[in-house]
Amino acid sequence: MSEDHEPPPESKLTRSKERWAREGKFLTGKITRPEDERLPPGQHLTRDWPVLDLGFLPNISRERWRLDVYGAVENPLFWDFAQLLAQKQSQFVSDIHCVTTWSRYDNQWEGLSTSDLLAACRPRDEARFVMLHSSDGYTTNLAFEDFAADTALLAHSWSGKPLEAEHGGPVRLVVPHLYFWKSAKWLKAIEFLGDDAPGYWEVRGYHNRGDPWSEQRYSDD
Ligand SMILES: Nc1nc2c(c(=O)[nH]1)N[C@H]1C(S)=C(S)[C@@H](COP(=O)(O)O)O[C@H]1N2
Ligand SMILES: [Mo]
């Protein structure tokens, strides 16, 4: 089991984001369907790729990187980067939607699809939720089905190049159908759980699921 690091002290941005959750900032109240619209309600398109995190940049080489897969699984994994690369590789192109309202189209990812990871670790029936643990102390939770989504992957490359450290390299999760805070950077552990538990933003006013098409930005309570 991997040791848990405390997240860094709350930055100005973290405190602003907590305030936005309390105020319901950016909410449009509109619902759009992905079949009709490519840009979810309240989002705007950006061509650059903003960096968003807790302000602490873990410095992990591919050599030192490890992935711990544990909890309600038949076959716990502890992989190094070479073992990740030895698995079947997938390439997906997907859009990013950050809850702070920027979206970025056509990101080319390469890595291990979550469905292939699931085939390797074989979750037990009671595994209904997934907690992602990151090297900066960040956590985020997903329902099993959201983790297992078709185009979700553990990405090590973007646009054909190694994923940059500031964007979560060596390896980050990408769950394209949810707001981007669910896509944990600097992924170090995946924990399968019978009961749901909130992660870093989910305890700070952000929605438990985070579907951008129905603007699940903030929690209701
Ligand atoms: N480990 C970790 N993962 C994280 C975060 C973080 O602070 N730490 N921030 C999340 C948020 S709020 C967003 S919008 C995206 C930003 O990813 P990017 O910096 O590559 O754009 O990462 C998500 N994953
Ligand atoms: Mo975000």
**Average pLDDT of every residue of the chain:** 96
The answer to whether residue 56 is domain-embedded is no
**CA–CA gap between residue 110 and residue 93 (Å, rounded):** 9
Read off the pTM.
Answer: 0.97
The fraction of the chain above a pLDDT of 70, given in percent, is: 98
Confidence of residue 5 (pLDDT cuts 50, 70, 90): confident
Confidence of residue 35 (pLDDT cuts 50, 70, 90): confident
What per-residue confidence (pLDDT) applies to 3? 56
Residue range(s) defining the domain that contains residue 160: 66-214
**In CATH, what number is assigned to the domain containing residue 115?**
3.90.420.10
Residue labelled with tokens 């009961």:
195
What per-residue confidence (pLDDT) applies to 220? 82
Residue 2 has pLDDT above 70, yes or no: no
Rounded to the nearest whole angstrom, what is the distance from the C-alpha of residue 168 to the centroid of ligand 1?
8
107 neighbors 142 (Cβ within 8 angstroms): no
Task: Mention every residue, 6+ apart, whose C-beta is less than 8 A from residue 113.
Answer: 88, 90, 92, 151, 152, 153
Number of domains in the chain: 1
- Taking CB atoms and a 6 Å cutoff, what residues make up the pocket around ligand 1? 49-54, 98, 134, 136, 138, 167-168, 180-181, 183-186
Out of 48, 52, 54, mutate this one to test ligand 1's pocket (max ligand atoms within 8 Å of CB): namely 52
What per-residue confidence (pLDDT) applies to 33? 84
What confidence tens digit (pLDDT) does each residue in 117-143 have?
Answer: 999 999 999 999 999 999 999 999 999
The answer to whether residue 22 is domain-embedded is no
* Structure tokens belonging to residue 26: 């950016």
Confidence of residue 34 (pLDDT cuts 50, 70, 90): confident
The answer to whether residue 25 is domain-embedded is no
The answer to whether residue 167 is domain-embedded is yes
What confidence tens digit (pLDDT) does each residue in 182-221 have?
Answer: 999 999 999 999 999 999 999 999 999 999 999 999 998 6
Q: Which residue type sits at 104?
A: R
Ligand 1, atom 5: closest residue by C-alpha: 53
Residue 155 has pLDDT above 70, yes or no: yes
Task: Mention every residue, 6+ apart, whose C-beta is less than 8 A from residue 130.
Answer: 141, 142, 143, 144, 147, 190, 191, 192, 193
What per-residue confidence (pLDDT) applies to 23? 94
- Which ligand minimizes its atom distance to the CA of 183? 1
Rounded to the nearest whole angstrom, what is the distance from the C-alpha of residue 123 to the centroid of ligand 1?
26
Ligand 1, atom 16: closest residue by C-alpha: 52
What confidence tens digit (pLDDT) does each residue in 71-116 have?
Answer: 999 999 999 999 999 999 999 999 999 999 999 999 999 999 999 9
Across the strands, what pairs with 91? Answer: 110
What 8-state DSSP symbol labels residue 123?
A: B
Rounded to the nearest whole angstrom, what is the distance from the C-alpha of residue 122 to the centroid of ligand 2?
30
